[in-house]
Amino acid sequence: MSRPTVTRFAPSPTGYIHVGNLRTALMNYLIARKSGGQFILRLDDTDQERSKQEYADGIMEDLAWLGLHWDRVEKQSLRMDRYREAADQLRAAGRFYECFETPVELDLKRKKQLNMGKPPVYDRTSLRLTEAERAAMRAEGRAGYWRFQLDQNRIEWPDGVLGPISIDAASVSDPVLIRADGQILYTFASSVDDIDMGVSFIVRGSDHVTNTATQIQIMQAMGGTPPNFAHHSLLTGPHGEELSKRLGVLALRDLRARGVEPMALLSLMARLGSSKPVELASSMEELIEGFDVESFGAAPTKFNDEDLFPLTRAHVQSLPLATVADRIAALGVPADQAELFWKVAKANITVLADLEGWWTLFRDGATPLVDAEDVDFVAQALTLLPPKPWTHDTWGQWTETVKQATGRKGKGLFRPLRRALTGLDAGPEMADVMPLLQVLPKV
């Protein structure tokens, strides 16, 4: 029997979650739950200047809205002593070395290498400094930063999405793990955390493949066993364009404000880019059971936020009255009309916020649509409308009376009356609408 999987979602609280983040969070969540394992929410907040509590709160609010409940929360800002201890361990092992180049000097080196047709890989100048030379650099006022010395061999792993990966470490710069100002960088802190927290499977974007290669060596240098990795494809816009420019309007809080339902969003993101068709799931359990990370492809995946609304519509229409009863009551719908109102409205809305428009129509009356040639007909028909209370049978009885009085029938009879009462060319069954109408239009 396989051991329960431990996964994590590790956002930086420097902004709100968008659909790209959600893809990572959801995949890790589903993998953990499918194995009966743990899902850790880890706030990577070592950047104290940009990390904000409001973003941390927003991340947790968004995940809770979606039903992605974590088993525990970890904060990197509370683990600084552990990172310093791990740094000392790597120094003692000869895998950490201090560097002194300025950003300008590094940029010049990169440009020179590119001009010579070489990859812009750090040349390890600082690794060759003597202790006296390092002391002289410090005396000049240069602040040292720290790099991890990679073993320059091939780094290989079986990726859960991309297949076998092999990266030549000699083609990668020794990663900077601690900045000159002392800030612990993501690559290092994440490696320490993943080992300490027993993370056994990590799903993240394909833009992290090189990071994964270096982190595997960092974990091994600390005596840890790297987890399994899977790198999902990156999202693009519906026409293959970069999504990054639109991520600001694809934050989950914005999609929520537009009325997107959690299950619609989860259903799309759990299948988008995989070999399985996108279908509206009825529950989180169904999503968990049907998820398979190996069914995803490596090609960039097109995302169109408009695809969320047919799924939202289908989800809304599947809801029982009990689920929306409080919302309907808040609109002022009488309790004895709630069931009929929901029957009429749910077939004609996309998001739940649309309910308000329908109740406003029934409560206050519509702005009638009456063609010039129908003015006299509609006026006569309204005089033939029986007094309230109107019931389900009222529409049939009224239209029969009007038919007998005017000779009109079919579309010429029903359409002008619908347009006069609802201001709409099409919509719900008028037999169901009549009991809900509170007032008549002024024609």
Q: Three-class SS string for 204-219?
A: EEHHHHHHHHHHHHHH
CA dihedral for 86, 88, 93, 97, sign (positive or negative): positive
pLDDT for 443: 66
Q: How far is residue 30 CA from its own chain's centroid?
A: 14
pLDDT at 239 over 90: no
Is residue 247 over pLDDT 70?
no
- Section 227-238 average pLDDT: 94
Q: What is the predicted pLDDT for the residue at 169?
A: 95
Q: How far is 250 from 429, CA to CA, in rounded Å? A: 36
Take residue 203 and report the two structure tokens written for it.
Answer: 């799903």
Which of these, 261, 270, 235, lies nearest to 30 by C-alpha position? 270
Mean pLDDT for the stretch of residues 385-405: 95
Q: What pLDDT shows up at residue 240?
A: 86
Closest to 11 in 3D by CA, of 31, 29, 37: 29
What is the C-alpha separation between 258 and 309, in angstroms, rounded? 10
Can you give the pLDDT at residue 245?
A: 60
402 phi, psi to nearest 5 deg: -65, -40
Whether pTM > 0.85 for this model: the answer is yes
β-bridge mates for residue 147, sequence order: 97, 176
Which band of pLDDT confidence, cut at 50, 70 and 90, is reported for residue 1?
Answer: very low
* Mean pLDDT on 352-378: 95
Average pLDDT of the segment spanning 398-420: 95
Give the SS3 label for residue 184.
Answer: strand
pLDDT at 18 over 90: yes
Collect all residues with Cβ–Cβ distance below 8 Å to 312 and sequence separation of at least 6.
259, 260, 261, 264, 350, 351
Q: Of 150, 149, 133, 147, which Cα lies nearest the Cα of 180?
A: 147
- pLDDT exceeds 70 at position 231: yes
Q: How confident is the model at residue 2 (pLDDT cuts 50, 70, 90)?
A: low
Mind listing the pLDDT tens digit for each residue in 71-101? 999 999 999 999 999 999 999 999 999 999 9
- The rounded mean pLDDT for the chain is 94
The tens digit of pLDDT for each residue in 103-132 reads: 999 999 999 999 998 889 999 999 999 999
For the chain, the domains span: 1-71+233-318, 322-436
Output the CATH code of domain 1-71+233-318: 3.40.50.620
3-class secondary-structure state, position 271: coil
